[in-house]
Amino acid sequence: MATSVSSAVSIGSSNPLSFGLISKTIEKIRFLQIGYSLELEDVFLSWNVDLYSIQIPDKIAEQLVAKDTPEIFSIYGIDSTFLMNYWGDMMTIGICLLLLVFLRILSLLFPKKPKQTLFDVWLLKLRLMVQNFLVVSVYGGLGDITFYFILEMKTLKFESTASAVSFVVAILFLVIATILLAFQIWILISYQKKKKEPEQALQRFCAKYSAWGVLFLEFKDTTTLSQAYMTVLILRDIITSVVCITMTSSPYAQAIIFFSISVLMVLYLIFKNPFEGYYERIIQYIMEALMLTVNVCVLVFAHMDEKNLVETATRERLGKTIITSNFILNIVAIFCLVVQIAQICFAIYKVIQVIIKHYRKPKGAPNDENAAQNLDTALNEVLHQMKRPLAVRRPRILRNPSFETSEEMSLDHSPQANRRNNGRGNRSKTLMYLYKHNKEFKKAIEDIRLGGRWR
């Protein structure tokens, strides 16, 4: 459930991806052949229900030859063929790619004008949101690709054309997943190298890869390991997938590995502390504490099975603890998404309200010939701030009004470009006056620039 909730809304933050990865890891405990309580096993069946799902067409499904899927997977609706399992995610990724192409065509049909319009701003904003959703969907599914690929290999049978196609698609997606993971690691290493170069080089690097900002821009950049929090979560999802599918006959060893990974994650958060804000830090601590609680219960279940202990009452209490932990995780995920959306909406409303209030002409005051032009300039500058990917934290040296995304940054240093830049600076004098002398307006601008998130 938390996976669906987290991936349903994505507006430029890494929270949906982290929620989805953590909830997926918790959901994998149902694939361990352990004697859970009856209540918990009933709950496991409900975890298979998604908020939205694109089903594979019946004609294609009929051509896929049914193979012997291990019972521990088949009871939860997991098929033996990659195409059957990953069809919904493939369609979601395909729709996002088509939508990006459509938005790109729109931007080409309506070329940028010297004066930015509201349509241009929201077109760019929508494209960035779709890009972010695509990144969250793809990277959040790397563990699933690994899981379904290994399952395909274990039950491989070329008895139809569709089965062969499923095998080829599985290999293709595994190669893509490997490339994406290597690309993410390359971004982290390159970022640390750019830090040693002039500041402008790092600015250009972050602008160029701003669409991937959810993977590295929201975390402390003091070391590669502290900035690699999202990479660590993805690797954990992949490792747990491999453990689930390859060690089905050793549930006690699986439970020990799950517990060990949780302990290492808690130690990583304590000693590396990849988050700058207290809000993000507290949320992640809560999620990892819930994760550790679940894995402790699973380890106790596995230990009782290993020692042939019935302990029905204890199993029921452990089952309720896991159910409660998963419920709290869902509540935290929904709460964070609602708060994030509300903060961004409120920040936008506050900025516009302050500008209109400042330029509202008092009764009896003389007409100001430049009032309309000043208001238009101020609104354009605010919209310029809103064009950035929402809730993507910039590194400290990039947190200034001059930073632009790759869609905005021009590398043209011709005399014409310099004159344009100087003209832009002259038009922003009014806004800079507000920024310096109006505390409410300054706070609103900071909320917009930093994504409207708590600090």
Least trusted range by pLDDT, from 88-102, 311-325, 432-446: 432-446
Least trusted range by pLDDT, from 20-29, 127-136, 246-255: 127-136
* Three-state DSSP class for residue 265: helix
CA distance 39 to 257: 25
Give the confidence band of 407 by pLDDT, cuts at 50, 70, 90: very low
What pLDDT shows up at residue 415? 45
Mean pLDDT computed over every residue of the chain: 75
Q: Measuring CA to CA, how many Å separate 185 from each of 191, 402, 411? A: 10, 28, 27
What pLDDT shows up at residue 434? 57
- DSSP output for 360-428: PPPTTPPP-TTHHHHHHHHHHHHHHHHTSPTT-PPPGGG-STT---TTT-----SHHHHHHHHHHHHHT
| Residue 187 identity | I
**In percent, how much of the chain has pLDDT > 70?**
68
Mean pLDDT, to the nearest integer, of 361-375?
54
Mean pLDDT, to the nearest integer, of 408-419?
42
- Statement: residue 412 has pLDDT above 50: no
Give the confidence band of 240 by pLDDT, cuts at 50, 70, 90: very high
What pLDDT shows up at residue 112? 64
> What's the token pair of residue 186?
């390359």
pTM of the model: 0.73
Mean pLDDT is highest, among 57-66, 422-431, 439-448, for 57-66
What pLDDT shows up at residue 32? 92
What pLDDT shows up at residue 413? 42
What pLDDT shows up at residue 238? 93
- Statement: residue 345 has pLDDT above 70: yes
253-284 pLDDT, tens per residue? 999 999 999 999 999 999 988 887 788 888 88
Least trusted range by pLDDT, from 187-201, 266-280, 397-411, 416-430: 397-411
CA distance 381 to 354: 14
51-107 pLDDT, tens per residue? 566 778 777 777 776 667 788 888 888 888 888 888 888 898 999 899 988 988 887
What pLDDT shows up at residue 2? 39
Q: At what angle do helices 161-195 and 142-154 cross, to 10 degrees?
A: 140
Q: If we measure between CA atoms, which residue out of 302, 283, 227, 291 comes closest to residue 265?
A: 291
